[in-house]
A and B are shown apart, each in its own frame.
Chain A
Amino acid sequence: MPIEPVLTKGFGSLDLTDLAVYRSVGGFAALTKALREMTPDGVVAEVMASNLRGRGGAGFPTGKKWSFLPKDGRPRYLVCNSDEAEAGTFKDRMLLENSPFNLIEGLVISAYAVNAKRVFIYIRGEFLAGYRIFQKALAQAYDAGLVGADILGSGYSVEIVPHRGAGAYICGEETAQLNSLEGKRGEPRLKPPFPANAGLYGMPTVVNNVETLMYVPHIIERGAKWFASIGAEKSPGPKVISVSGHVMRPGNYEVPLGIPMRELVMELAGGLRPGRRVKAIQPGGGSSAAIFEEDLDVACDFDSLAAKGTMLGSGAVTVMDDTACMVRCALTINRFFETESCGQCTPCREGGQWVHRMVARLEAGEGSESDLKILTTINRTITGTNLCVLGDSIMPFLSSVYKHFPEEFHDHVRLAGCPLHARSESAA
């Protein structure tokens, strides 16, 4: 059930990094409407009515998040999280590079809604091209009076400050991002207090994902009803999903939430290589537990995937076919989380490192049954025991594939090596 693209409309055919082009397809009409016809509370109400849920991973209702800000007269900040680094996710990068004005429009409308006078956009350090494109677009927007003082004569003023990260995955966690913006070590904060109360520089702060904020102008322009009519009932709207791995056409697909995994993988992404079958899919980035061939009919939305014990996350679908060694796949994931742990919490710092060493040993054919025994129980002391959710990301994929393919793990011990690679080598 393909839909008319919303964020990705014109991608590949129009140069939306040109302000005139963006305007020619209706750009900044929503901003004009919001500033001239709506109150900030009106914007919040509209977004709340659309039931837009955060596209960064947690799926928290955006309008509700905005409504949490205390009305106590303190300065407020809007932070746009563009530190996209979840394994398998590459949607924000594409959006940033191809449609910076949609983002700027979303930033200004959202800042107006929450009454922020200053917006920080935290751009992943590796996104140098996106950063440059954004900067150039921002300069044009300032020149055109769409950002800065007295926007469109409304009396509302807002400054947008781009900030480049320095390569830490953990800075995608909102409180680590706030620390990093403040010039501190990028490490998650103890909560409470939550950012809505004490965020950037201790002030009320909203942190939203790039994609989330880009839907805001469209909701303002076309109405909450339009948005809510797309996709699943409790997870409405379109979503850009990054499909990667063993598919014929990997890439970003803007689909209605709730699209069946089978349709996304087998039709939109072109299916698997001839003769191959789905072995495992990570539906929500490196942090998510795997689903398997029998789960292909699951709907891709926040709640349906949660019911399967996994998550939609940031919308990163990684497909592994039957040539993939699950131990090696887990090794890749566990190496990532070992490297990216900030090191504050013991279970994440030490446990992540221990798990990685055990999986590396298994993969190299040097593992033992006692390692496997530890891997079945260590989940309980690593998961749910840390300050932030990075620690909770260490075990889901490993646990899910071990549970589903236990023999593959035991074979690595028994055969002192990978049975799949042994087979493929002998076949060759």
Chain B
Amino acid sequence: MSPEKAVREVSVTIDGNTFAVPEGTLVVEAAKHLGTQIPVYCYHPKLEPAGLCRICLVEIEKMPKLQIACATRVADGMVVHTSSAKVAEARRGVLEFLLLNHPLDCPVCDKGGECELQDFTMSYGPGESRLTEPKLHKPKLVDLGPTIVLDEERCILCRRCTRFDDEIAQERTLIVEDRGFKSLISTRNGGAYASYFSGNTTEICPVGALTSKAYRFRSRPWDLNHTDSVCTQCSVGCNYRVDTRFGRVMRTFTRENPAVDDGWICDRGRYTFNYLYAPERLRAPSIKRDGGRVDVTFAEAAVLAGSKLAEAAARGRVGVIGGGRLSDEEAYALQRFAREVLGTNNIDYRTHAQVYASPSRFGARLTDIDDASVILAFGAVTPELAPILDLRIRRAVARGHAKFVYMGPYRPAFTIETRYVKLQRGTLPKELDDLGDAVRRGAGQPGGSDVATIASDIAAAKKIVAIHSGEDAPSADAIERLVETLQQSGRDAGILVVGATGNARGAEAAGCVPNLGPGYAPVSGEPGMTTDQMLAAAADGRLDALFVIGANPALTFPDGALARRALKRVPFLAVADQVMTETASYAHIVFAAASFAEKRGHTTNLEGIRQAFAAAVESPLEVRTDAQIIGALTLATRRGSIGDDPTTLFAELNAAESAPRAKTGGGALARPVVTGASAPIAVPDGALTVIPIPHLYAGGGAAAHDPGTKPMRPEPYAVFSPSDARRLSLDEGARVKLSGASGSIEVSARIAQQVPDGSVLVLAEMPEAPHNLLLDASGGGWANVEVIAGAAEAAG
């Protein structure tokens, strides 16, 4: 971050106390210095002052009328009274007006107990009602979209929701309809409010107007216990609170961390906890027996699995896959289990196309986005993969100081102005090296080639943030070379790598890779096998046992056919997960693993911030944390001892990490070894190149079984360019079969301009139609298209 500009301090007197605040401070914020609360409804510190509700009127000397504290900035020598008789009368008046037609259904209102209309009425409201007329009525139970129900009668029209949608999400779906006292909160053209950020509106709504479908009528706020936690659904690591009642998670709630989430969470993070209570949640370990699955006790499962793993380990034919969904402590325990207990470096957290999670040098911070001049994203579709990071990008671009450049094989739907550069497979390193050359030469002009245009954006830039999907090793090197060039040219530049799983970076740092131990230290002895090597070995009969923990490679590994062959063929497969994933369905023994809410520990976000989360609820009886599963397996192997206490494991991890780190030539951290370099794809005549596309609600684990996010989950689909659709006689909504080199899937067809001709975008990680049946180990693939049913038939 650039150094703060010196801010002049001015003197202000509030209720007789004189003190200094930075010039430009709002009166409402200045009052907080004294611990004085000025009531507000429309004001929210994250939104621009609007001055609508008028509850914050205060008396300022030398001003004839009362002034709104939410929009008046402190001037030197200003004298403010926040509790004079005039102020009290104005507040009483505003509250009286707000209560005129309010239904006063507090006993059945979700907000009751944490409602600012209740609170301020108690503190400042009129003691008795002068209202004699019947209430005016407005629509109730308004279905705004998949997540939100609106009660227009409870609404006080503060517009925090519409302003959030406008200023923060910048989606402009929520609007005010009609005028005066008939005003209603509504949606643009009556469409659904289906924002990824919708849940935030229920929190900032000061009354019970916006309620979340997932929480309505489920608890009174005062009955909730609060536990500080961290969201693990993606790699941003937003801080939140888990609210529980009777040992059950009722809702999640933001817990502001300006450096990480800026006070917001996305709906995937907010609502993905209902799977804990879904029938698909695993509540006991099970073993394959007589062609079916039989539940067993945890002890029985641990003893059986431990002995099988020990046997395979004795032959040196064992591998461990996972770590990116565990806590830091558990990831550390897992690599100890592989190395010390099973005696192998065959451990890898990477089960997606991602090949690394930590920039080996030039790591940027999330807050660097806030004052960046140019944001370069490479294949990282941030709205789907890291929504709260995307909010930062939206804000930086909306404020007009940042340009956003996206390079990738297709143009994702960004909400902001985007300079898009279409990339052919494998061409990113060259593009970036050309860009570096242009920067070094000082070349580049608008209207030239893509490289020249971006170079001209960069020419005027002080700070550049590069965001990578982490999916291609040569690209990673090229990005680091470019950032180095930028730094040498006197610019501030850094890299963020979006993790494919919530704790990808934590797993990498803890040593869940074949060539590196905790703290990126090179392993003693030969590096082990990577995930694709392990899967290939298992498929060829060269491994006797695999332990997969918190991972579902059958659905996520690029070469789906290989992954499935390996998982089906390996003589012994143990899987630990929270729900019955496809990978777990192949396992001889499945452990029921505890969720984030049922354990404590740390998780490391994409920037490298390690954050603690606490256990909010107890897990079911036969469910264990991953650390407990690893500890029990260790005992069962009789080959060592690894404790399952997070505190001890955390101390060990810290000690291991404080050892000197492995550095390569340029002072960079070592990167995980990468195998299976990408080969050119030969697309047969008439076939289309397959480009997998991420979706916030895709996934084969918790997301596939969560009643809270189910309404938002898409059906599997593929998107065709208009001209390919014409050529294939496809209509929007048609049912099509996509057949690749090693499998086929059925999806519904969509048509969009953004799709390059000759390509098809396939929704990734949908268990009903696994995209990876169409791909090879490098993530490339093709598909022949066959129309099964026209749009009308498919709809019928």
Binding site for B on A (CB under 8 A): 168, 185, 190, 338-347, 349-354, 357, 361, 368, 370-371, 374, 378, 380-382, 384-387
Instruction: Please determine whether A353 and B180 come into contact, CB atoms closer than 8 angstroms.
Output: yes
Instruction: Please determine whether A357 and B133 come into contact, CB atoms closer than 8 angstroms.
Output: yes
Instruction: Please determine whether A347 and B65 come into contact, CB atoms closer than 8 angstroms.
Output: no
Q: Which one, B100, B132, B180, contacts A338 given CB within 8 A?
A: B180
Which residue of A has the minimal Cβ distance to B65? A384
Say what secondary structure dominates the interface of chain A: helix
A contact residues around B130 at 8 Å (CB): 370, 374
Instruction: Please determine whether B49 and A190 come into contact, CB atoms closer than 8 angstroms.
Output: yes
Which residue of B has the minimal Cβ distance to A168? B179
9 contacts between A and B (CB under 8 A): A340-B179, A343-B178, A346-B157, A347-B94, A353-B180, A380-B93, A382-B93, A384-B65, A384-B66
Q: Contacts A380-B89, A381-B89, A381-B93 given: A350-B65 contact, CB under 8 Å?
A: no
Instruction: Please determine whether B132 and A368 come into contact, CB atoms closer than 8 angstroms.
Output: yes
Tell me, yes or no, whether B169 is within 8 Å of chain A by CB: no
- Closest chain B CB from A185 CB (angstroms): 7
Tell me, yes or no, whether B101 is within 8 Å of chain A by CB: yes
Taking A341-B179, A342-B180, A344-B159 as given, write out 8 further A-B residue pairs in contact, using a Cβ cutoff of 8 Å, ordered by the A residue number: A345-B54, A346-B53, A347-B54, A352-B180, A353-B100, A380-B89, A385-B94, A387-B54
A contact residues around B89 at 8 Å (CB): 380-381
A-B contact count (CB 8 A): 98
Tell me, yes or no, whether B71 is within 8 Å of chain A by CB: yes
In chain B, positions 78-103 with a C-beta closer than 8 Å to chain A are 89-90, 92-94, 96-98, 100-101
B contact residues around A341 at 8 Å (CB): 179-181
Instruction: Please determine whether A345 and B52 come into contact, CB atoms closer than 8 angstroms.
Output: yes
Docked pose: A350 CA to B53 CA in angstroms: 11
Docked pose: A361 CA to B180 CA in angstroms: 20
The proximity string for B residues 118-144 relative to A, scoring 1 for CB distances below 8 Å and 0 otherwise, is 000000000000101100100000000
Instruction: Please determine whether B97 and A347 come into contact, CB atoms closer than 8 angstroms.
Output: yes
B contact residues around A353 at 8 Å (CB): 100, 136, 180-181
Instruction: Please determine whether B132 and A386 come into contact, CB atoms closer than 8 angstroms.
Output: no
Which residue of B has the minimal Cβ distance to A185? B176
Docked pose: A59 CA to B100 CA in angstroms: 36
- What are the 5 A-B residue pairs with the smallest beta carbon separation, nearest first? A381-B93, A350-B97, A343-B183, A341-B180, A353-B181
Tell me, yes or no, whether B502 is within 8 Å of chain A by CB: no
B contact residues around A374 at 8 Å (CB): 130
Tell me, yes or no, whether B156 is within 8 Å of chain A by CB: yes
B contact residues around A380 at 8 Å (CB): 89, 93
Tell me, yes or no, whether B574 is within 8 Å of chain A by CB: no
The proximity string for B residues 139-168 relative to A, scoring 1 for CB distances below 8 Å and 0 otherwise, is 000000000000000001101000000000
- Closest chain A CB from B150 CB (angstroms): 16
Residue from the set A185, A344, A347 with the largest chain B CB neighbour count within 10 Å: A344
- Closest chain B CB from A284 CB (angstroms): 20
Docked pose: A14 CA to B69 CA in angstroms: 56
Instruction: Please determine whether A346 and B55 come into contact, CB atoms closer than 8 angstroms.
Output: yes
Q: Which one, B49, B57, B101, B178, contacts A350 given CB within 8 A?
A: B101
Tell me, yes or no, whether B712 is within 8 Å of chain A by CB: no
Q: Contacts A380-B89, A381-B89, A385-B66 given: A340-B97 contact, CB under 8 Å?
A: no
Instruction: Please determine whether A381 and B96 come into contact, CB atoms closer than 8 angstroms.
Output: yes
Tell me, yes or no, whether B537 is within 8 Å of chain A by CB: no
Docked pose: A346 CA to B132 CA in angstroms: 19
- Closest chain A CB from B165 CB (angstroms): 14
Which residue of A has the minimal Cβ distance to B175? A185
Which residue of B has the minimal Cβ distance to A344? B52
Docked pose: A318 CA to B97 CA in angstroms: 31
Tell me, yes or no, whether B50 is within 8 Å of chain A by CB: yes
B contact residues around A386 at 8 Å (CB): 54
Tell me, yes or no, whether B601 is within 8 Å of chain A by CB: no
Which residue of A has the minimal Cβ distance to B91? A381
Q: Contacts A339-B180, A342-B180, A349-B183 given: A381-B132 contact, CB under 8 Å?
A: no
Q: Contacts A190-B71, A347-B54, A385-B66 given: A354-B180 contact, CB under 8 Å?
A: no
Q: Contacts A190-B71, A384-B66 given: A340-B180 contact, CB under 8 Å?
A: yes
Instruction: Please determine whether A387 and B66 come into contact, CB atoms closer than 8 angstroms.
Output: no
Tell me, yes or no, whether B51 is within 8 Å of chain A by CB: yes
Instruction: Please determine whether B54 and A346 come into contact, CB atoms closer than 8 angstroms.
Output: yes
The proximity string for B residues 251-285 relative to A, scoring 1 for CB distances below 8 Å and 0 otherwise, is 00000000000000000000000000000000000
B contact residues around A352 at 8 Å (CB): 180-181
- Closest chain B CB from A268 CB (angstroms): 36
B contact residues around A190 at 8 Å (CB): 49-51, 71
Q: Contacts A190-B49, A381-B93 given: A349-B181 contact, CB under 8 Å?
A: yes
Q: Contacts A382-B93, A384-B66 given: A350-B100 contact, CB under 8 Å?
A: yes
Q: Contacts A343-B180, A374-B130 given: A387-B94 contact, CB under 8 Å?
A: no
Docked pose: A368 CA to B133 CA in angstroms: 12
Docked pose: A381 CA to B89 CA in angstroms: 7
B contact residues around A349 at 8 Å (CB): 97, 157, 180-181, 183
Q: Contacts A370-B130, A381-B89 given: A346-B156 contact, CB under 8 Å?
A: yes
